[in-house]
Structure 1
């Protein structure tokens, strides 16, 4: 189960012209907005260094405490969308969704492969498919990841989303037929021939 991962510090901002947004960027801030079923949309700004450190440490998924300057209590949020510059990949806008801890949410959760060493012992090669699944659960039950244990698989086997085991209280709602991983046989070079083949060719 994943608890709230980290606190993000933000401040209110005024909606204005492109010039104001450029000034925010020059001052080292990323504009964003926080909204929810019971929360009116609120434009905010977060320090770019601060948010980059948070995301590089904890990732983009999971729950965060959003501490907004001037508000008494932090808001529990999910990152719903992150817009980035097409060339520099810098964050240019963030959308946060304020959640109710008593209502179910949907969120993307990464898949973590376990048991890879057993496959390598068998000479198998992993071909990975989907890397995330969408889950539905209460915020307190949101997992950091879904574990995909492949240790019992053999060459030629595969696992789908439907084969994954979700933690208690969590429902996986992604397409159950989507392939997560396939175990392939090792590739044999065309130059490699068996002793028997060499003998036959010499004859």
Structure 2
């Protein structure tokens, strides 16, 4: 999939807002020592690209007739509506190894009866070529018992992908369910009044 970009004549927050109101998404193209280019892309096309190829999408971008292959390196969204605000595009070449973050998905299965699976790491950093970027890594936690854990080293990684994240980092573990604390109350307990000192009745 290829996208056509238009060079931006003006930058800044005001210009970016105008671009988005017109259906254009601000973007920066950089890499290989070249001067960064400020451009805009069709917002709808970028949204469809992310939906279909994920947040590590590799695609061609056309700027004034010059095509170059880029990696979707950064995505900025609004905090509440998650609207696309801007994207960063890194230029790449065929066969070049690039660093990307790959999501980790846990599969626990329906058989778990004890413990709660906790995910400590949601993605791992890897080095690979643009045509070899996996969409996700799946980790099976169904055989884990309470107190067990799985690390980055337990992920199934293809031989041609280099893992950058420390292999000893914990990805998932199983913890015992937290028992609800019950307040102990004793029926009939009376609150004793404090003793007043120094106010004894005087005898006449």
Scaled to the shorter chain, the TM-score interval is 0.7 to 0.9
CA distance in 2 between counterparts of 1:88 and 1:152 reads 38
- Structure 2 match to 1:156: 147
Rg comparison, structure with higher value: 2
The answer as to whether partners of 1:9 and 1:69 remain within 8 angstroms in 2 is no
The answer as to whether partners of 1:119 and 1:125 remain within 8 angstroms in 2 is no
CA distance in 2 between counterparts of 1:17 and 1:187 reads 52
Residue 117 of structure 1, aligned match among 109, 121, 125: 109
- SS of equivalent to 1:77: strand
From the superposition, tell whether residues 97 and 128 of structure 1 become closer, same or farther in structure 2 (CA, over 3 Å).
Answer: same
Consecutive unaligned residues of structure 2, counting only runs of 5 or more, are: 183-204
Quote how far apart the aligned CAs of 1:169 are. 0.4
Residue 5 of structure 2, aligned match among 11, 35, 48: 11
- Structure 1 match to 2:54: 59
Given the alignment of the two structures, is residue 145 of structure 1 paired with residue 139 of structure 2, yes or no? no
Quote how far apart the aligned CAs of 1:8 are. 4.8
The answer as to whether partners of 2:147 and 2:173 remain within 8 angstroms in 1 is yes
TM-score for the superposition, normalised by structure 2: 0.75
CA distance in 2 between counterparts of 1:85 and 1:26 reads 14
Given the alignment of the two structures, is residue 71 of structure 1 paired with residue 27 of structure 2, yes or no? no
TM-score for the superposition, normalised by structure 1: 0.76
RMSD of aligned residue pairs (Cα, Å): 2.5
How many pairs does the alignment contain?
Answer: 181
Q: Which has the higher contact order (CA 8 A, sep 6+)?
A: 1
Given the alignment of the two structures, is residue 103 of structure 1 paired with residue 105 of structure 2, yes or no? no
Residue 165 of structure 1, aligned match among 148, 156, 176: 156
Quote how far apart the aligned CAs of 1:190 are. 4.5
The answer as to whether partners of 1:158 and 1:183 remain within 8 angstroms in 2 is yes
Quote how far apart the aligned CAs of 1:96 are. 0.3
Quote how far apart the aligned CAs of 1:112 are. 1.7
From the superposition, tell whether residues 113 and 85 of structure 1 become closer, same or farther in structure 2 (CA, over 3 Å).
Answer: closer
- Structure 1 match to 2:187: none
- Structure 2 match to 1:48: 43
